[in-house]
Structure 1
Amino acid sequence: MITYLLKSAIALGVFLAFYHLVLEREKMHQFNRFFLLFSIALSLVIPYISFEIVKEIPLDVTNQIAINQPIHIETAVEKTDYKLVFLWSLYAFVTLILAIRFGRNIINFRSKIKCNPSVDFKNSKLILVEEKILPHTFLNYIFINADDYNKQNIEAELYAHELVHVTQKHTLDILFVEFLKTVFWFNPIFLFYKKAIQLNHEFLADQEIVTIYKNVPFYQNLLLEKSSGNQTIYLASNLNYLVTKKRLIMMKKTTSKNVAFLKKIAALPIAVGLMFLLCVETIAQEIKTDVKTEQNVSSLDKYYSKTAFVFKNKNNGIIVKKKYSELTEQEKKSIPPQPFLAKKSPDLKEYESFKNSNNYAVWIDGKHVSNSKLNEYQADHFVSYFNSFVYKNARSKRFPQSYQVTLFTAEGYDKAYGENQVRNAGTITIMANEDAHKNKIRETPGKETTAVVNDIERQPEFPGGILEFYKFIGKNFKSPADKIEGKILVEFMIEKDGSLSEFQVVKDLGFGLGDEAIRVLKLSPKWNPGIQNGQPVRVLYTLPITIQSSKETK
């Protein structure tokens, strides 16, 4: 709602400023009438118009290992926001008062029409009232003083002036803007629109009188004489409304056709500019791409130059055996990517903790060393590293530590992750499957093996453990709807650096629950990445979330 009001207010303000600065001073009143009404209508509609520009962001997609971990979310009925209730109540109260006032004024006009004598006058009716008033118009009724009518004290120009208001149905414009003032009473800009519309009505009527009677000085003097000392009638087109220097000057002003045409055309880029500013949204859309891209073709060819790929069916029969260069694009989607580890040296505090033999087992450039070996180095001697938590059932007598850390010197990093890296000779076996997303892959240098879903050396871990992950989800997940029960399923990738990406809602219950789950996951801190063959790997994580409604809270 706030966005709607803000966008419409911006549009209303821009259009009104353009009218006062460019259009109001020119003698093209019919166009100005249309422009003012169109500006209001477009400003009220423009927040609902949306043009999306999709910005495609390519992603590197590989088939990875899937893990299921259930988590339960209980939804609770949100507490009543009494501040919001108060504001809506205040709006409803003020709107009701203004609506009653608006309706009462219309009823007053109807009452005058029924209770006073009327006279047919061309395509209108003259309503003869006892009050000492100047002629004014409401719909096709012209209200005049009965005594002035009987004594013929009303000049022909005044009748003709009011008849223009009737013929061009100016009252409808005023009723339209008054209705909007009642609904959007908190927006003062509608008051300025009403004044601009009413003044333009007078310009239109004045122009007609000057054209018919061709006596501008007499008509100007008549307006000045009749308008002094009289009040404006609410909801009516009044002769004496804003009889100012603007009206008197406008009667003798001329506007060339070329100037009028250019100023009319100038309104178009204003409307287009507002549409672009308020309606165009840029959406980043992730586009899944093949592992083989223009940037990594040569490096993958080199990395897998000594590797054979064997594709087997579900009966363990060999379908085909190929070199990397012989694989089709679809087959290459099943190939594990070239390993990569970002360059980052450990900080001093973290490096000192690695020296604790009770907590950490240490590898340097892929070789296990004693923790005391780190005393021969400094933290900045290592250009990259990764550490991980070891589950109790995965610890051994040789490595009983809770954590393992692998550090790389510049030479070791280039050997493991440099551009000239070549995978050790061996075979990668891939189980063919119609559903490429479910292919399970594991590579072991020098021999042929086939992997299963849980066959990974070390699973990725949320900081503090899986229970902390459950607490994180439960704390941040806000159910968009009440009294919903069921399960949603979200997939996301845990990258080699521990960040989360490639969020996808596999199963949704609607009501924005899937979007809420993705929002919470994007807030997650980095995980400790999964480890395979001593190297960090990307891991596809499948997260079921069970939604259960709890009792209503007060």
Structure 2
Amino acid sequence: MDGAFIYLIKVNIALVVFYLFYRLLFSQDTFFVIRRFCLWTILGVSFIYPLVVFSFEEEQKMAIQQAVVQYAPNLLPEVSVFPEGHQVSVGVWDILRFCYWGIVTLLLGRIVIQLVSIIRLVYKGERACCCSTSVITLSGKITPFSFFKWIFVSPSLYNSDDMQEIITHERIHAEQYHSLDVMVSEILCAFFWMNPAMWLLKREIRRNLEFLADKCVVHSGFDRKAYQYHLLRLSHPSAAAQIVNKFNVSPLKKRIMMMNKKRTSRMGLIKYALLVPIAGLLILSSNVQAIVQVNENVMGVTGQDSIVAKGIVVDTNDQPLVGTSVIIKGTGIGTMTDDKGEFSITVKPGTVLIFSYVGKANQFLPVKNAKKMRIKMTTEPVVLDELVVVGYKEKGDKDEEVFQIVEDMPKFVGEDGSVMKFLAKRIRYPFEAMKKNITGKVFVTFIINKDGEPVDFKIARSVDPLLDREAIRVLQLMPNWKPGTQRGKPVSVEYTVPINFQLQ
């Protein structure tokens, strides 16, 4: 599941949580300006909180990760090989993704069409001054509405008193940029059309804007009851578009109730502070996977059946190796040997420990009991599960050492420094292998010597001679690398690359 999909899921969850929270605590008070700010905050936090990531015991985790990277075998990224002109299958997720973006496109197209219709009315209507306000007059029975700074009205339908109330109402929408709220909510509904909470939030946004405009009209000196009767008299169903601020937005009953409602006590403002803990809980829930992972890692090695594994790590001359990495396989938990080459770590019986040291082959040893262990690190080849790390081929001086990790690793100098890009462009699926339906993953080891030359290509894990030969062939095409260095001197470094041959 990719990160974008997870992000969208978290945003949708936040929209649901915040809508329920808004309806429960804020929808009945008369703090319309603060409610507008609250709705903007809800939308903003919903999109931002998934981006807040927790980090636990970062220093310890970074140290362990660096040790893993430093001592792990040099396994290059996998190269996948397909027959030329292969067909890519279409899965369920591809169909769902197509449907999702198809509906998004339709809804966005609907918004564009409405914008075009409003612009046409701007050019079609006549500019006039009505009640000391510049408006665009229209013909026909069209509900008065505003869109940003434009106010549209049919003066022939209303008397002077009604016109003053209409113009005042729509001027408030225009001056306070209420159309911005409407446009943002419409666009978000297009992208989150599958989430009912987004549509309900859009409804709350529009209602609150009307409550706010009604409140300003009444405070401007107009008679409350006369204004309410005026709203009830307007019954024109037609409107230029859904993205505008209409004068007689339904439900009128709700608007009239809000106008007659007693002003909410200022003590009610305190409840808006609850947005902070709600946002905090969402951030915490967003990072629950990291929290659980840390807890599982700790509990996995400190349960009631755990034992303390102790021992000493030495080289082939029985000399203690200081700073050897000791890591529990499959986790980021580990330790390092002290100045005496000794270590101590709490594990469960049967746990596999990975011992790593610069220039030495990794050792994988299971812990069976609490008996003190003695680990001897060698430069001989070792078997890592199914992947064979083949010993190096010496050239010239028989005592020349081949490293797996050095201070400055070799650097590929072609294809913008990407060896994977170089290989992918040149590798071909053998025709005979395709006819015989042969597939599989070939592991090849090679050495970048002191001169940067790729040498000693060997099959570490074979699939079929046809695929093995193609893997060796393409790797032998590599140009010279920039050699790796250890303590300022060029040295030979071994690599392993998996090449995956697949048929579609």
Letter in 2 for 1:53: F
Matched, 1:6 2:13: no
Q: 1:266 to 1:71 in 2, by over 3 A?
A: closer
Letter in 2 for 1:87: L
Structure 2 contact 128–134 (Cα < 8 Å) conserved: yes
Aligned to 1:110: 119
Deviation (angstroms), 1:87: 2.9
Gaps of 5+ in 1: 60-65, 288-294, 319-328, 344-433, 441-449, 472-480, 487-506, 508-542
Deviation (angstroms), 1:29: 0.5
Structure 1 contact 46–279 (Cα < 8 Å) conserved: no
Q: What are the equivalent positions in structure 2 for 1:220-299 lying under 5 Å apart? A: 220-226=228-234, 228=235, 230-231=237-238, 233-279=241-287, 281-282=290-291, 284=294
Deviation (angstroms), 1:188: 3.1
Deviation (angstroms), 1:216: 1.9
Aligned with residue 136 of structure 1, among 120, 131, 145: 145
Q: 1:161 to 1:79 in 2, by over 3 A?
A: same
Q: 1:510-531: CA deviations, max 9, x gaps? A: xxxxxxxxxxxxxxxxxxxxxx
What is the DSSP-based 3-state SS (H/G/I as helix, E as strand, rest coil) of the residue aligned with 2:134? strand
What is the DSSP-based 3-state SS (H/G/I as helix, E as strand, rest coil) of the residue aligned with 2:162? coil
Structure 1 contact 124–166 (Cα < 8 Å) conserved: no
Letter in 1 for 2:294: A
Aligned to 2:497: 546
Aligned to 2:378: 453
Structure 2 contact 76–496 (Cα < 8 Å) conserved: yes
Deviation (angstroms), 1:206: 1.0
Matched, 1:75 2:75: no
In structure 1, what is the Cα distance between the partners aligned to 2:37 and 2:212? 12
Structure 2 contact 30–263 (Cα < 8 Å) conserved: yes
Structure 1 contact 171–237 (Cα < 8 Å) conserved: yes
Aligned to 1:218: 226
Q: What are the equivalent positions in structure 2 for 1:11-410 lying under 5 Å apart? A: 11-54=14-57, 75-77=80-82, 79-120=88-129, 125-148=134-157, 152=160, 154-213=162-221, 215-226=223-234, 228=235, 230-231=237-238, 233-279=241-287, 281-282=290-291, 284=294, 330-332=338-340, 334-335=341-342
Structure 2 contact 189–199 (Cα < 8 Å) conserved: yes
Deviation (angstroms), 1:192: 1.2
Deviation (angstroms), 1:553: 3.4
In structure 2, what is the Cα distance between the partners aligned to 1:259 and 1:71? 63
Letter in 1 for 2:237: N
In structure 1, what is the Cα distance between the partners aligned to 2:131 and 2:77? 78
Deviation (angstroms), 1:451: 6.9
Q: 1:151-175: CA deviations, max 9, x gaps? A: 6473422221111111111111111
Q: 1:86-126: CA deviations, max 9, x gaps? A: 33333333333222221111111111111111114589531
Structure 1 contact 484–549 (Cα < 8 Å) conserved: no
CA-atom RMSD in angstroms: 4.8
Letter in 2 for 1:546: V
Structure 1 contact 157–219 (Cα < 8 Å) conserved: yes
Deviation (angstroms), 1:42: 1.9
Deviation (angstroms), 1:239: 1.4
In structure 2, what is the Cα distance between the partners aligned to 1:112 and 1:10? 39
In structure 1, what is the Cα distance between the partners aligned to 2:110 and 2:72? 66
Deviation (angstroms), 1:82: 4.0
Deviation (angstroms), 1:24: 1.2
In structure 1, what is the Cα distance between the partners aligned to 2:230 and 2:14? 39
Q: 1:82 to 1:26 in 2, by over 3 A?
A: same
Structure 1 contact 141–166 (Cα < 8 Å) conserved: yes
In structure 1, what is the Cα distance between the partners aligned to 2:181 and 2:238? 21
Letter in 2 for 1:270: I
Structure 2 contact 122–136 (Cα < 8 Å) conserved: yes
Structure 1 contact 136–236 (Cα < 8 Å) conserved: yes
What is the DSSP-based 3-state SS (H/G/I as helix, E as strand, rest coil) of the residue aligned with 1:52? coil
Deviation (angstroms), 1:238: 1.0
Structure 2 contact 81–500 (Cα < 8 Å) conserved: yes
Q: 1:126 to 1:438 in 2, by over 3 A?
A: same
Per the normalisation by structure 1, the TM-score is: 0.52
Higher RCO (Cα < 8 Å, 6 or more apart): 1
Deviation (angstroms), 1:257: 4.2
Q: 1:401-441: CA deviations, max 9, x gaps? A: xxxxxxxxxxxxxxxxxxxxxxxxxxxxxxxxx9697899x
Deviation (angstroms), 1:245: 3.1
Percent identity (aligned): 21
In structure 1, what is the Cα distance between the partners aligned to 2:361 and 2:221? 88
Q: 1:5 to 1:484 in 2, by over 3 A?
A: farther
Q: 1:451-485: CA deviations, max 9, x gaps? A: 77279xxx9988xxx7xx359xxxxxxxxx98685
In structure 1, what is the Cα distance between the partners aligned to 2:348 and 2:248? 81
Q: What are the equivalent positions in structure 2 for 1:354-503 lying under 5 Å apart? A: 453=378, 469-470=386-387
Deviation (angstroms), 1:331: 2.6
Q: 1:288-330: CA deviations, max 9, x gaps? A: xxxxxxx999x98xx99xxxx9x9999x999xxxxxxxxxx84
Q: 1:244-274: CA deviations, max 9, x gaps? A: 3322221122344443321222222222222
Deviation (angstroms), 1:84: 3.5
Q: 1:148 to 1:296 in 2, by over 3 A?
A: closer
In structure 2, what is the Cα distance between the partners aligned to 1:131 and 1:144? 10
Structure 1 contact 16–193 (Cα < 8 Å) conserved: yes
In structure 2, what is the Cα distance between the partners aligned to 1:129 and 1:484? 66
In structure 1, what is the Cα distance between the partners aligned to 2:155 and 2:222? 28
Letter in 1 for 2:503: T
Q: 1:337 to 1:25 in 2, by over 3 A?
A: closer
Per the normalisation by structure 2, the TM-score is: 0.57
What is the DSSP-based 3-state SS (H/G/I as helix, E as strand, rest coil) of the residue aligned with 1:254? coil
Structure 1 contact 165–171 (Cα < 8 Å) conserved: yes
What is the DSSP-based 3-state SS (H/G/I as helix, E as strand, rest coil) of the residue aligned with 2:116? helix
Gaps of 5+ in 2: 65-70, 299-305, 321-336, 351-356, 364-374, 389-418, 425-446, 448-493
Deviation (angstroms), 1:198: 0.7
Which of these two proteins has the greater Rg computed from alpha carbons?
1
Q: 1:73 to 1:185 in 2, by over 3 A?
A: closer
Structure 1 contact 136–237 (Cα < 8 Å) conserved: yes
What is the DSSP-based 3-state SS (H/G/I as helix, E as strand, rest coil) of the residue aligned with 2:13? helix
Structure 1 contact 8–43 (Cα < 8 Å) conserved: yes
Deviation (angstroms), 1:217: 1.9
What is the DSSP-based 3-state SS (H/G/I as helix, E as strand, rest coil) of the residue aligned with 2:243? coil
Structure 2 contact 315–376 (Cα < 8 Å) conserved: no
Structure 1 contact 224–243 (Cα < 8 Å) conserved: no
